[in-house]
Chain A
Amino acid sequence: MIRFIVRRLIAMVGVVLVLSLLLFFWLRSLPGGPVSAILGERATASRRAALEAALGLDQPVYVQYLKFLERAAQGNFGVSTQVLPGTDALDIFWMRLPATLELSFFALVLATSLGIPLGYFAARRRGSVLDNTSIVMSLIGVAVPVFFTAFMLKYFFAVQWNLLPVSGRQDPGLDATRITGFFVLDGIMTREWDAAGNALLHLVLPSLALATIPFAVIFRITRASVLDVLDEDYVRTAEAKGLTARTIRGRHVLRNAMLPVTTIIGLQVGGLLAGAVLTETVFAFGGIGQALYEAFKDKDYAVLQVLIMAAAVIYVLVNLLVDISYAIIDPRVRTR
């Protein structure tokens, strides 16, 4: 097991290294070059010259790359020029991360807690009304652009019927104490129940919008996987042994069917990050998704490179965790 994890970690280091190489060349190809990327386009000539010398732009490319790696390893990606001028780009990432994690967490909980049971029952009643309706819904769910779902939810539930807040993470009037940056968790920890409840209400619409695509995917994979498992010999064997339907469903069908579902849930994280850019922009949620949009729109390259690198590393890390959890569920995976 430990060897398995070590092997995966080594593979991950490779991926991150190649990523950093891509990021390095990306930064060099930006309009205006790396100096503008770090200082912004309106920097004075003397500051440019100073930075050029400091960055060693006169040196060979591989030396420059190694220096870039060194700075990246120290978390020094430069200073934000537009999103929050003067703030360290890495700090912006840490400030905005809790909002996105909170939103993604609720979206993923929604998607799994609806997708798995629905997929399971659709598979058991294959061809039924429930099955067919769910398939059609999931196909449509995938075809609807995420930001349009967000728009419509916002239009009906917040603007027309006034049931839920229009935007933000919490009403600004609330004097909530901040501990972790996760507003719901903060409210619970400080026993400020109104703050926690208010943050939860703000989460409903964005997480619903963000959950649509993961829901559709998890539903379809669960359904397909349960159908596959129901055909397996060991299910027939279990039936022949006279086990109760309950035991067969729980121990034999569901448990085995969950293997591909675990992987697909992990893979949704990439989609969640992308969806967060759109959802957070519509609901002005203030997470890394919105920061990414702002950084792109205002050409804040320091923030942009931190966020792109961080998103890719998070994605790779989550997949590593999925691999490890997979190896725990299914011992066969460990011996490659």
Chain B
Amino acid sequence: MTDQPGTDSPAPPPRRQSYGDRRKQRLDELAAASVDETPGVSLLVSAWRRLRRNPVFLLGAGITTTFVVLAVISPWLAPWDPAANPLIDKVRPQSNPVPGPEAGHPLGADNRGRDLLSRLLIGSQQTLLVGVMATLFGLAGGVALGTLAGALGGWVDSVVMRIVDVMLSIPSLLLAFSIAALFARPNQWTLIVAIATIQVPIFARMLRGSMLAQRVSDHVLAARALGVKPGAIVFRHMLPNALGPVIVQTTLVLAVAIIDAAALSFLGLGNPDDRQPEWGQMLGNSQQFINSYPHLAIYPAACIIVVALGFTLMGESLREALDPKSRR
């Protein structure tokens, strides 16, 4: 949505500016980082050696792992059914619309008497689902377009990249809005499709740059000289090597996807059925009580912030480890 603020690289000042986009250039730079290979030790091995000792990476990975584990085991962890309303008797629309903490309900309940802690725990599932599904679809679309453009080159490349550039030229939240408007009834798939769509051009641009760099690399030349079929060169030799920086970008995009999903839920584009809790939706629904009961907003927001931070820290340190410039 916003221009991926988490992903700005400490890039050198661009020398030449093609049609208005540092965003493009940044993606291309990241892509180019994949061809640089230190002789002797493979890129991945040397990256892993640096990562193991990087506290930022460990913190990010720790947060991310905790979040995923919590999301998986939350049905056994949550003390109450997120849709049940054990505290409904305590809800007084006039005097006490939001029951406070009490024994068995450490965080209290929401305005329908549903246990807040259970909703937060179970909510991690939907948040993870939306973030991961959106990013996977975005990745798949971007990889398909990027491979097409990067492998075939020529006019296919021009056409595909023109479309990608136009998509990049629309502010991403507006693009998500326009996509979501196409759905007669919003549900969580609206969210997933909208967010996936805004990620496609980002991944496509990166992978295409990566593929172009692979095309002129020595191992591709060698494969061509040996008479390997073009299809095999693309899928066995170019694509696996080009995917590296894209995979790193995926962690960063996941963080943005989770924040974006929250923003879209807040605007009412998400799943209207609140029996299935999701952090963005909980945050959005809390706004009517924000002035008297800010904790309803603060808990889900804190969860979103911590998880987004976890993915960002992990992605940033991964990228730093794979970036040849930071290896000096």
A-to-B contact residues, CB < 8 Å: 8, 11, 14-15, 18-19, 22, 26, 29-31, 139-140, 142-148, 151-152, 154-155, 159, 213, 216-217, 220-221, 223-225, 227-229, 256-257, 259-260, 263-264, 266-268, 270-271, 273-275, 277-278, 281-282, 292-293, 296-297, 299, 301, 304, 308, 311-312, 315-316, 319-320, 322-323, 326-327, 332-333, 336
Say yes or no for B162: interface residue by CB 8 A criterion. Answer: yes
- A308 and B14 in contact, given A31-B182, A320-B20 (Cβ under 8 angstroms): no
In whole angstroms, how far apart are the Cα atoms of A274 and B174 in the complex? 7
Name 27 interchain pairs, CB-CB below 8 A, sorted by A.
Answer: A18-B162, A31-B184, A140-B309, A143-B255, A143-B259, A143-B312, A145-B263, A145-B304, A145-B305, A148-B283, A148-B301, A148-B304, A216-B5, A266-B20, A274-B173, A275-B2, A282-B287, A296-B177, A296-B269, A297-B268, A308-B170, A308-B174, A308-B177, A311-B171, A311-B174, A319-B169, A327-B17
Q: Nearest-CB distance from B15 to chain A (Å)?
A: 6
Size bracket, chain B contacts: 35 or more
Q: Nearest-CB distance from B234 to chain A (Å)?
A: 27
Q: Nearest-CB distance from B1 to chain A (Å)?
A: 5
Which residues of B are found within 8 Å of A278, using beta-carbon distances?
A: 263, 266-267
In whole angstroms, how far apart are the Cα atoms of A230 and B305 in the complex? 34
Is B262 within 8 A of A145, CB to CB?
yes
Given contacts A227-B10, A270-B172, A312-B171, 8 further A-B contacts (CB under 8 A): A151-B294, A223-B10, A268-B3, A270-B3, A278-B263, A319-B21, A322-B20, A323-B17
Is B174 within 8 A of A273, CB to CB?
yes
| Identity of the chain A residue whose Cβ is nearest the Cβ of B7 in the assembled complex | A142
B-to-A contact residues, CB < 8 Å: 1-3, 5-6, 8-23, 162-163, 165-166, 169-174, 177-178, 180-184, 255, 259, 262-263, 266-269, 283, 287, 290-291, 294, 297, 301, 304-305, 308-309, 312-313, 316
In the complex, number of A-B residue pairs with CB atoms less than 8 Å apart: 187
Name which of A22, A142, A217, A304 has the most chain B CB atoms within 10 A of its CB.
A142
Is B262 within 8 A of A326, CB to CB?
no
Q: Nearest-CB distance from B259 to chain A (Å)?
A: 5
Is B267 within 8 A of A277, CB to CB?
yes
Which residues of B are found within 8 Å of A326, using beta-carbon distances?
A: 17
| Identity of the chain A residue whose Cβ is nearest the Cβ of B185 in the assembled complex | A31
* Of the residues B6, B11, B267, contact of A143 by C-beta under 8 Å: B6
In whole angstroms, how far apart are the Cα atoms of A273 and B171 in the complex? 7
